[in-house]
Amino acid sequence: MKVSALAVQVTPRTTWVFARATGDDGTAGWGEGTLEGRSDEVRAGIEAFDGKLGSIPADPVKAAAYSAVEQALWDLKARTESRPLVELLGGAKRPRVALYANINRGTVDRSPAGFAVRAAEAAALGFGAIKIAPFDEVTPNENRFIRKGFARIAAAAEAIAGRSELQVDCHWRFDEATALEALAECARLGVTWFECPLAETPANYDAIKRLRAKANAAGMRLAGAELFIGSAGFKPLLEQGLYDVVMPDVKYAGGLAECLRIAELAARHRTGVSLHNPSGPVSHAHSVCLSAALEGSERLEYQHGETPLFFAVAPGLEAPAEGSAAPPAPFDIKGDFA
């Protein structure tokens, strides 16, 4: 068995990094470890695979490479045994997985009108929820541009009113006081999901718990933990009740098997699991299979409209229909790219 890496730059910002595990008979399984700004390092980590996974590395680059290889080995096993991947993961609990459309990377026009157009487009395709990251100019030390974010949220909310829920990703841009201000405005505008308001450090855990209580009182759920690694990394967050929903990523958390363990741990703490999935087609395919195998009905993130290469690179991968996706059949990365 041989493991190799492939990097495909699809936008000026985004480079997808894939792992390919090839068996002795030529059968290939695919995984993905896309990590923004670190593609060369992840690719090197995949290429350095020595045949044994071992324990999950704590370093994010090494964890991404590990996770990509782990996915590829699962995929290779499914193909070699001629069994659906979702069957190996425990079997499908639902025939189709509801998706929410993350429109952030594909929204080039960052004006309120630009967000509104893109949100309306996604709602028209049947996505029951749309996610935006509207606070481009805000940092924990600079919040004077927060109202630009509010204007984007208001425009998107109006564009999808009565058709889809609106979710807001804050990308750790606030301190507690500013997060409370943003949370209150989001509640006023009907937002249902408030994600990653504060840096997820132990020093902020008490503040995150307070924000969760405020969000719940306002009819919103608090979500986060997209970059955490392994069930051990998620355990303190779950034990302390920081979030309504945690977001393990098959590309970073340790791969498919570890995400299953994280989901089991979350279930014991009565916390929802919605996989973080804003990257390329391989991680999307694996995330759909894994989501179908999980108990519950949380929507799965889907990177909507960042690039037409999403399906061109992976012929045979079906596009979502009416805001949902079925666990996909095996597919290969197109020869022009592989």
User: Domains in the chain, start-ordered, CATH in brackets?
Assistant: 2-82 (3.30.390.10), 97-325 (3.20.20.120)
> Mutual orientation of helices 256-268 and 281-293 as an angle, nearest 10°?
40
| Mean pLDDT of the residues in the chain | 97
Phi, psi of 239 (to 5 degrees): -65, -35
pLDDT in tens, 249-302: 999 999 999 999 999 999 999 999 999 999 999 999 999 999 999 999 999 999
pLDDT in tens, 2-34: 999 999 999 999 999 999 999 999 999 999 999
Which residues are CB-contacts of 260 (< 8 A; sequence separation ≥ 6)?
89, 90, 290, 293, 294
Q: Are 93 and 292 in contact (CB under 8 A)?
A: yes
DSSP 282-298: HHHHHHHHHHHHSSS-P
What single-letter amino acid sits at 67? Answer: S
Residue corresponding to tokens 């805001």: 323
What does the pLDDT read at residue 211?
98
DSSP letter assigned to residue 299: P
pLDDT in tens, 156-201: 999 999 999 999 999 999 999 999 999 999 999 999 999 999 999 9
Residues 229 and 66: their CA atoms lie apart, in Å, by 11
Residues 114 and 128: their CA atoms lie apart, in Å, by 20
Residues 235 and 237: their CA atoms lie apart, in Å, by 6
Helices (H), the chain: 39-47, 60-80, 85-88, 112-124, 146-160, 176-188, 205-217, 230-240, 256-268, 281-293, 309-312
Residues 267 and 22: their CA atoms lie apart, in Å, by 35
How do 2-9 and 15-22 pair as beta strands? antiparallel
Give the residue from 214, 147, 135 showing the smallest Cα distance to 174: 135
pTM of the entire predicted model: 0.97
What does the pLDDT read at residue 58?
97
pLDDT in tens, 89-121: 999 999 999 999 999 999 999 999 999 999 999
Residues 118 and 116: their CA atoms lie apart, in Å, by 6
Give the residue from 25, 28, 65, 23 showing the smallest Cα distance to 44: 65
What does the pLDDT read at residue 332?
87
Residues 313 and 317: their CA atoms lie apart, in Å, by 9
